[in-house]
Structures are given as structure tokens and as C-alpha cells.
Chains A and B, each alone.
Chain A
Amino acid sequence: MNLFHLTMMGLGMMIGAGVFLGIGNAIRIAGPGGLLLTFALNTLLALFTAMSYAELSSAIPRAGGAYNFARIGFGGGTSFLAGWMEWFASSVAGSMYAITFAIYTVRYLEQLRFLSWLAVPTLLVKPVAVLIALFFLYINYRGASETGKIGAIMTAGQTLFLIAIGVVGVVVAIRDPSRLQNFQSFLPFGWSPLFITMGFTYVAFEGFEVIAQAGDEAIEPKKNLPKAMLYSVYVVGITYVVVAFATVISVKAGSPDVTGEPWQWIGSFRERGFGEAVARLIPFGNFLLTLAVIFASTSALNATIYSATRASYALGRDRMLPKPFARISKRRKTPWFALLATGFIVLVVATVLPTMDVASSASMMFLFLFFLVNLCVIKIRLNMSDELQYGYLTPLFPIVPMLAISVQVVLAAELRHMSLIALIVAPAWSLAGLFIYKFYSSSRALPAESEIRVLEEVEVPEGDEYRIMVPVANPETALSLAWNTNKIGRSRPSQIKLLHMVPVPDQVALSDAEKYMTEGREGIVEAMLYLVQRFPVTTTFRYCRNIARGITSAVREKKIGLLIMGWHGEGWDRRFRIGSTLDPVISRSPCDIVILKDCGSKTFRNILVPLFGEANDAFALDTAERMAQEKDGVITAMPVRGAANKQRGIWSEERYLGRLLRRVEHQPVKVQLKGTPPMDPVKAVLQEAEKHDLVVLGLAGSFLRQVGVPTVAEQIARQCVTPLVLAKASKGLSAFTKKWI
């Protein structure tokens, strides 16, 4: 599928029913101006989520959509919930398309007087919806689907038809400006109903989900998937706004059969309002509109049944739902059980629930799903951005996904005014999913290929001790790491967790990872033998695709307080500030971090601690005190950032140092102050470092930025030839964010 096919696929899903069903109700609730505002605001909001989908699809262009993103971003439980919600949301959307088809078909037959024998023709809506849903369930079972080309041409036709309605509306408004008076009661009920109308018409913008599902079949997916998602939302948004404008001006105020204001008259028809309005705007309006609705809703119905079946089949395939969900018909090669289960939901929802409750439930489920995808984009960008090859990056990150999340929460809550049933159905389905996952899926689910696995773990009983993790990579430096870990950890009851990550290249199957395990055993054993006499020690071997992610995930899982790592010095790769493993570990680990360079198994008497006037100074001083020889160690504190402030008389080095010393945990060593000479701080510190045994640097500056100009501390770290310790404390909002995302 090329860009055109993908874009049309998304448009086909969106232009199906939302606009036909939504306009009449939206104008009734929010007025003529509210109708336009609803679609304009939803366009921007949908674009925010489409950008998240675009980023994730460009980096992970595989079939599976939200389920796949959640599996990579969050793992088991969340991915099950995403797939579970995706299944229901698509099924309910399918019910909505079946009902839309039925409403407009019955309306047309009624106008042709084919249903005059019926007292209440609208009673036919539900049976017709069931029949059309059954027909497309059968079509899906047969495995027949529209070919990409024909489907794309049909969608292009539908879109052009809607654009034509919009253009006619604009022309009519120019020729008869009095119709603009229809906007006089712009927002008759104020601004607040907008949240309700935005909520229940949001389902009309969910086409990018189906584009994400087509990841495997796209040509140049990194480029075409994000483009198709953004283009389809953009085109559909503009089209909706223009069509909404045309709907409002289509009815001339004061016409004999129009009661009340035009917008009230259109709104009185509810779901059929759009049809009644457009029939007055264009010649053969009724016929053309019915034709457009039939094409739009049937192709969307087909696509949603396909999408829902695929979601439930994926859950069955990964054993998150019972095995029958993964059964494929021998004759037709289609997942018949997943289709049957999907069909059951589509038919029950279409039959039992009133029309607007169906639309509201579908909207709410999609809001939940998009909420999750926006969380995924934040989590994956923060945790895996060095591993994934992106084709697109969401601009203004993370403001855009966070804004989308906030508005989606508000819209979901406001939907209660539209449909109490939706407020019960959607959360109940999500809770049922959580229940099924806890008691069924979690124990049966197949592990994902890319997950980090524990090869071997020797645990000791967990106590209240301070948890220190020491990743050991190189057997040659294992003993010096253990020596310094002892120094840092000895002053308080600590538990040491030795970790060896086994990197498995992408070309090698994870099942063969055991072959790589022996390489790290020597180092771990050496460190353990040294430390086990002093601390409770745990050893763990894990295999992973990316060492940094493996370490970060172990830190989170084991609730580590301090991470101690070794550093061999500046690497060859200039893209990284310190190193390809250390940079992401520093920026993502929610714990204190100490990095040792060339520290060996030495004792340190003269330690230099440059102070940058930032949050890590106290932790650097604390680490220096732990590293120092207890009795005769001397620490030289050298404020390098205070010179300018001192001259202005607003900063006192003595007061600052005194404040820092009150914050550190123990002070058995002598601490002296050294003024900074009036020169470049990097040179000043490097000169002073030559006179000392060890330099302890607080890693000032935010590593969340990951790129950019190196900070003073990083420049010193790169050039310093004296043994070096880098210290970074975990504090404040960034630590909280790292812990939870």
C-alpha cells in the first residue's frame, strides 16, 4: 500500500458515520457556532493523537496498532488492556456504522413511500442494522475484502462528495448572504456544551488506528505511515468544518416548513438532521446523500469488523485470551472464532443500545485507547529513543501528548451528559479486561520477544537495607568496582545487587542467549567473593537487546536506591556526552548514581569537589566523604560557579559550603574551601585536579535533554586524567517522572 492507499484507508474509516450521525445532535446541543467549533477543536485534538500514532508507527511499523505500542512501551497488562479496548472500540464503532446505514436507508425508503405500509417506519432501523452487520460478518468470514485500489477510489469519491457539499454551501452563502443570519445564535447554550459534542463526535476522527494496523503492508512505512495519518486527519477535519458550515446555511430562515430557528429545525431531526439539511442544498440531495452514506458506512463497517477481529485474534495468538480466539478456519483461512466473538458484540450493541449511546460508547472507548497511546509515546521516547529508528518525531514533545491526554480525560468525563450508558459500558469493559488479565491472561500470556529476561538469579531475603546495584560488565574492573562499592556502602546497612547484562545482537534469537552468559560470570563471581563478607549480595544475569534499557528496568524493578557503574573514559561516538550506555542510564534511572573512572583499588587522601551551585553538589560532597580515607582524608571544595555572584556580594562560598555540609550524612573528614582563580572554570578545575588523588563531580545540568552543548562538569569529566567520580542525585519532579514513566 502506498501513501494514497493508506490515506484513503484512514479517510474511509473516518468519513463513515461520525459526520452523518453527529451533525444533527451536535447542532441541537451546541448551536450553529458550536457545531463548527466542535469539528475545528476536534481536528486539532485528533491531530495531537495522530502525531503520537505517527511517531510510534514510524518507529515500530508493525501490524497491531495500539496493542503493539503498549506491548513495547509498558509490557503485558497494559498491552492486554489496549488490545481489549481496541477490540471493543472497533466492534462498537462497527455497530454505529451499521446503525448509520440503517437510519439513512430507512429514511430514503420512507421518502420514496416504500414503507407506507408501516405505522412506524423507524422500527425497521434495528433489523436493517442487524442484517447489514450479519452480511459484513459473512463477507469477513469469506475473507473477501475490497481491494486497496477500489476501496481507495470509493473513499476518494465519498470525500469529494462531502467537499462538494461544503463548496455548494460556501457558494450559496456568497449568493445569498442573508443565510449567514443562521449563525446569529452562535452559541445559544454557551461554551460548556462543546465538551459534550466534542466527546461524542470524536469517534469520527479515529481513522489513524486502522492505518497503524496496516504497518506490515505499507510501502516505505517510516515515511508513508506518519504522512497518511496526518493527511487523513487534516483532510477530514477541514472537510467536516466546511460541511458543518454548509449544513447550517442550507436551511433558509422563515421557510414555510421550518419551525423555529434553522439550527433548531436541523437539530430536531437528531441523527437524521444532516440528511434533512443537505437534501435542501443540492439537487438530488436525498439520493446522492443516501448513496454516499451507503458506501461510507459499509466500507467503514467492513474495516471495523476486520480491525476488531484482528485485535481479538492477536490477543488469542499471544494467549491473552483463550486459544479458540487464535483458531483459523481451514477452508477460508480467517480467524472464525475471533470473528464470531466480534460479531456477537457488534450485534448485541447495535440491537440493545440506543443510537447515541452506541456512538458515545465508541467515542469513549477510543478516548481511552488514545489516552493510552499518548502515554506510550511519552514512555517509549523517554526509555527507548536510542534504540528505535524514527521516521517522525512529535513536535513540542511532551507538551502535545500531555495536552491530548488532559483533554481526552475531560471529554471522556463530559460524555456522561450525553450518555450515562456509555459511562457505565466503557469503564465496565475496561475493568472486566483488568479482571481477565489478572486471573487469566497474566499467567498464560506468551512472553514478547523483545522483553528483558532473567537468565539466572540468586536472591537473598529482602530487608530494609539500602539497595545498591552494581552492573558488572568487564571482569578486569570487577574487583575495583567491588572495592569502591564497599567504601560507598559501608557507612549504612546496605544490600548489594550485582547485575550482569548479556547483550544479545538482533541477528541472534533470544533463545540462544545462554551461549553469551558465561562471558560475564567471571567478573560477577570475583565481585561477589569480595563483597559477600561485608553485605548481603544478590547476583543476577539478564539478557537484553539494549544494555541501558536492561539496567534501567532492573533499577526500577528492584527499587534501587543507588546505582554504581564503571566508566572507561570518553568513547568514540561523539553523539553521546559520556557514553552510549551511561547517557541513557543517567537520564532514565530513578535513583542516585555514582560513576567511577580509573578509581582502581586505591585509597584517597586528597579529594577535589568542584561545586557548581546546583542540586548535585551535596551528593558529590557526600560521595567524596565516603570515598575518602577516614582519618586523614582532606576534601577540597572548590566553588566554580559562584565567582560572579560573589563579586556582586549576593553569594557567600562559606555560607554555601556550610549549608551543603549540614545536608550530608556523616562528616568524619576535614573539608576545606578553595577559591576559584579568575579563569575558565574547566581549566581551573583541571589545573587543581592535578594536585589531588581524586575528583568528585556533581553531574550538573539536565540529562533529559540528552543532546546539546556539554555542561562544564561534562567537559571536565572528558578531559580529566585524575581518577574521577561522577555523582548524580535523584531528586524532585524529574525523579518522580522517571519512576512512573
Chain B
Amino acid sequence: MLDIIIGAVVIVFCLGASSAFVFYSRRQIEKISRMKRTTYRDIMKNRHG
């Protein structure tokens, strides 16, 4: 039973983390696409803007 609970938690965690990464990334890609200069430094400077 413990295996089932831990397994279910791991599956939910993996799919949840994957969803979070994908949606965060989508937002980031859209944000970067609106910037003029997009070197690493430029993106980091504007990450809160």
C-alpha cells in the first residue's frame, strides 16, 4: 500500500512539475520575444520588468 501511495505521489509530482516547467517556459518565451535585445544579460536584467 505504501508503494502505491509513494508511486502515486511521484507520478503526480512528475506530471505537475512537467506542467509547471512547460507553462513557465511558454510565458518566458513570449516575454523574450517582445524584447529587442536578448542576450543572457539582457534577459536577466529585464526578468522583473
Contact = CB atoms under 8 A, between A and B. Distances in A.
Interface of A: 33, 36-37, 40-41, 43-44, 47, 51, 54, 58, 183, 186-187, 220, 222-223, 226-227, 230-231, 234, 237-238, 241, 381, 385-393, 395, 575-576, 706-707
A204 B44 CA distance: 34
Contact of B33 (A41, A223, A575): A223
A236 to B, nearest CB: 11
Chain B interface, DSSP helix/strand/loop, else mixed? helix
Contacts of B19: 234
Contact of A54 (B25, B39, B42, B43): B25
Contact of A37 (B7, B22, B26, B32): B7
B29 A227 contact: yes
Nearest to A381: B40
Interface in B1-49: 3-4, 7, 10-11, 14-15, 17-19, 21-22, 24-26, 28-30, 32-33, 37-45
Given A44-B17, A241-B15, A390-B32, 19 more contacts: A33-B4, A47-B18, A47-B22, A51-B21, A222-B32, A222-B33, A223-B29, A237-B15, A385-B39, A390-B38, A391-B29, A391-B32, A392-B29, A393-B28, A393-B40, A395-B25, A575-B42, A576-B41, A706-B44
Contacts of A237: 15, 18
A738 to B, nearest CB: 17
Instruction: Give 6 closest A-B pairs by Cβ, nearest first.
Output: A385-B40, A40-B14, A40-B11, A707-B44, A44-B14, A186-B4
Nearest to B40: A385
Nearest to A245: B11
A152 B38 CA distance: 31
Interface of B: 3-4, 7, 10-11, 14-15, 17-19, 21-22, 24-26, 28-30, 32-33, 37-45
B40 A706 contact: yes
Contacts of A395: 21, 24-25, 28
Contact of A575 (B7, B21, B32, B45): B45
Contacts of A576: 41
A575 B33 CA distance: 19
B25 A392 contact: yes
Given A226-B25, A234-B22, A395-B21, A36 B41 contact: no
Contacts of B32: 222, 390-393
A492 to B, nearest CB: 37
A381 B42 CA distance: 13
8 contacts: A37-B7, A43-B15, A51-B25, A186-B4, A223-B30, A390-B32, A393-B28, A707-B41
Contact of B15 (A183, A223, A238): A238
Contacts of B41: 385-386, 575-576, 706-707
A226 B24 CA distance: 12
A58 B45 CA distance: 19
Contacts of A227: 25-26, 29
A393 B41 CA distance: 11
A741 B21 CA distance: 26
A230 B10 CA distance: 21
A577 to B, nearest CB: 10
B24 A390 contact: no
B34 to A, nearest CB: 10
Given A40-B15, A47-B21, A389 B39 contact: yes
Nearest to A191: B3
A40 B24 CA distance: 19
Contacts of A391: 29, 32-33, 38
Contacts of B43: 390, 393
A393 B35 CA distance: 14
A47 B23 CA distance: 12
B22 to A, nearest CB: 5
B39 A183 contact: no
